[in-house]
């Protein structure tokens, strides 16, 4: 895997509104690697890996989210390639269980 790896934490009204499914759809559409999951604190966490410009665009899209969501903030930071190991075996992009 070469390129950028970014981990994002999205807060606001992002659970119960199809946010994870929207992230999965967008990431697969852009052929990104990574994962997305809900967190018990009500936020959504995601990891995106791929070409830097596409990863940056995905992070920007997360600031808007699907029409039913209300995004208050997106924390964005670099991540290690090891973080990709959370994916399910054989999947480029996974929806993970809540943590």
Residue of 6, 13, 37, 38 marked catalytic = 38
Spatial distance between the Cα atoms of 3 and 85, rounded to a whole number of angstroms: 16
**Does the active-site annotation cover 20?**
yes
The active-site residue, picked from 6, 20, 37, 87, is 20
Q: What six digits make up the tokens of 61?
A: 């899209």
31 is catalytic: no
Q: Could you give the CA distance from residue 64 to residue 60 in angstroms, rounded to a whole number?
A: 7
Instruction: Please list the active-site residues.
Output: 20, 38
């Amino acid at each position: 895997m070469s390129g950028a790896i970014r981990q994002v934490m999205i807060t606001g009204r992002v659970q119960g509104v199809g946010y994870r499914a929207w992230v999965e759809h967008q990431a697969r559409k852009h052929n990104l690697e990574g994962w997305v999951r809900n967190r018990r604190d009500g936020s959504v966490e995601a990891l995106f890996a791929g070409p830097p410009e596409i990863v940056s665009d995905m992070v920007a899209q997360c600031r808007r989210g699907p029409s039913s969501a209300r995004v208050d903030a997106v924390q964005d930071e670099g991540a290690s390639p090891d973080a990709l190991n959370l994916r399910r075996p054989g999947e480029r992009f996974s929806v993970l269980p809540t943590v």
